[in-house]
Amino acid sequence: MSGATQTELGAVVSLWRYPVKSMMGEELNATEVSERGLLGDRAYALIDSADGKAATAKNPRKWPRLFDFRAACIEPARPGAKVPPVRIELPDGTTVASDQSDLNQVLSKALNREVTFRAAQRGAVNAEEYWPDMEGLDHRNTVTDFTLPAGTFFDVAMVHVLTTATLDRLRTLYPQGRFEVRRFRPNIVVQLVSDEKGFAENAWVGHTLAIGTAVRLNITSPCGRCVMTTLAQGDLPRDPGILRTAAQHNQVNVGVYAAVVRGGTIRRGDSVRME
């Protein structure tokens, strides 16, 4: 589609990949994108040996320490190639590699729960989500099961896009809160060319974003948030007000989900346009 039919929205200011589900991830300068999202994103997960469910920080009562682990790909992820192994930093600062023979034992000991580390496979895996007692949520003070998209470790969609305008708006609504990118675990963060401080992404649903020279994303739905946004991570404190603010002012949504229409390379600084 020609540039004349595109509306300039802004530019990519950061890119993020999370190689292991619910662990901290890595910031990238550039990445390849396929129909499965950013290469290497949510490529692996820990599976609870007791019930076969994927470990997720959505249920912090069961998995209270996942945000204390950090994962990064050891080698660049390449189109058509096997997903590379990852290096995992444990809460005590030591590191392990995903291809070492005693990995499951090391992770099980660190989590105090028997787990198996594995790559996404065919079929669907279930996980659990804790819903805090908070007005505006679909459930309150309960744990529910949900099924991940078949063959993946994503919760819903392959790509999550967030604007700095949304973060700015949330900071205005709740100044005490620390609305930082890492709380929301997006893949692509966009800074708008306008000075808008609002939930800009809401208007993108149903439209196609062109990013750089090749990538096209179909914006499929708002991104509903969960208890993960309230959890402590690094120097960020636990703060239920983060989720409560999203519930009160934007129907619990922060950012949008997207499907990949056309893959390619995305780089920090790439222009973002609406088609």
Residues 232-255 pLDDT 10s? 999 999 999 999 999 999 999 999
Q: What are phi and psi of 187, to 5 degrees?
A: -90, -40
Give the CA diameter of the chain.
Answer: 57
Q: Measured between alpha carbons, how far apart are the two ends of the chain, in Å? A: 8
Domain ranges of the chain: 3-274
Q: What's the confidence (pLDDT) of residue 1?
A: 43
pLDDT of residue 182: 96
Query: pLDDT at position 80, please?
Result: 85
Q: Is the dihedral of CA 216, 219, 220, 226 positive or negative?
A: positive
Q: Coil, helix or strand for 155?
A: coil
pLDDT (tens digit, 9 = 90+) per residue, 187-246?
999 999 988 889 999 999 999 999 999 999 999 999 999 999 999 999 999 999 999 999
pLDDT reported for residue 209: 98
pLDDT at res. 2: 44
Q: How far is CA 205 from CA 35, 84, 136, 200, in A?
A: 18, 33, 21, 10
Q: Which residue is associated with the tokens 């930082």? A: 180
pLDDT score at 3: 47
Which CATH number is 3-274 given? 2.40.33.20
| Per-position pLDDT tens, the chain of length 275 | 444 588 999 999 999 999 999 999 999 999 999 999 999 999 999 999 999 999 999 999 999 999 999 999 999 888 888 889 999 999 999 999 999 999 999 999 999 999 999 999 888 999 999 999 999 999 999 999 999 999 999 999 999 999 999 999 999 999 999 999 999 999 999 999 988 889 999 999 999 999 999 999 999 999 999 999 999 999 999 999 999 999 999 999 999 999 999 999 999 999 999 99
How far does Cα 20 stand from its chain's mean position? 10
Looking at residue 161, the DSSP 8-state letter turns out to be E
The pLDDT score that the predictor gives to residue 195 is: 81
